[in-house]
Amino acid sequence: MKSAIFLAIAASFNGIMDTLWTHYDRSVFKAMDPKWWNPNLSWIYQKNFLGIVRLDAWHLAKYGMLFGICLAIITYKPIVKKYRILDFLIFACIWSIFFELFYSYLLLA
C-alpha cells in the first residue's frame, strides 16, 4: 500500500510539472516569481547546482516525481496477489486520478 501512496505523490508532482510547462499563465503559480516558477524563463536565471542539477520549480517537481516512482518500486508488495495485472490497473487509476486532480483542478487559478 505504501507504493500506492508514493505513486500518488509522483503523479501529483507530474501534474505540477505539466501545469508549469503548459498552463503557467493560468495557474496558481503565475503570481509567483517567474524567474523560478516559469520554465520558459527559469532556465535562463537559475544556475546549475554542482554543474549538473538545475534548481527551479519544474526540475524540483521532476525530481520529486522520480523520487516518488523510485520509492513506489522499492516498497512494492502485490495488492492482488493472484492477479498482478490488477495491480497495474490499480496503479494506473491512482496515477490518472492524482495527475488529473492536480493538473486540471487544484493548480489552475
Provide the grid cell at 46: 537559475
Residue 96, helix vs strand vs coil:
helix
Residue 54, helix vs strand vs coil:
strand
pLDDT along the chain (109 residues), means of 10: 96 97 95 94 82 87 97 94 90 97 92
Domain residue limits, the chain: 2-106
Residue 65, helix vs strand vs coil:
helix
Cβ atoms < 10 Å from Cβ of 14: 22
**42, 58 in Cβ contact below 8 A?**
yes
Residue 91 has a pLDDT of 96
Residue 3 has a pLDDT of 96
Residue 88 has a pLDDT of 94
Provide the grid cell at 50: 554542482
| pTM for this model (two decimals) | 0.90
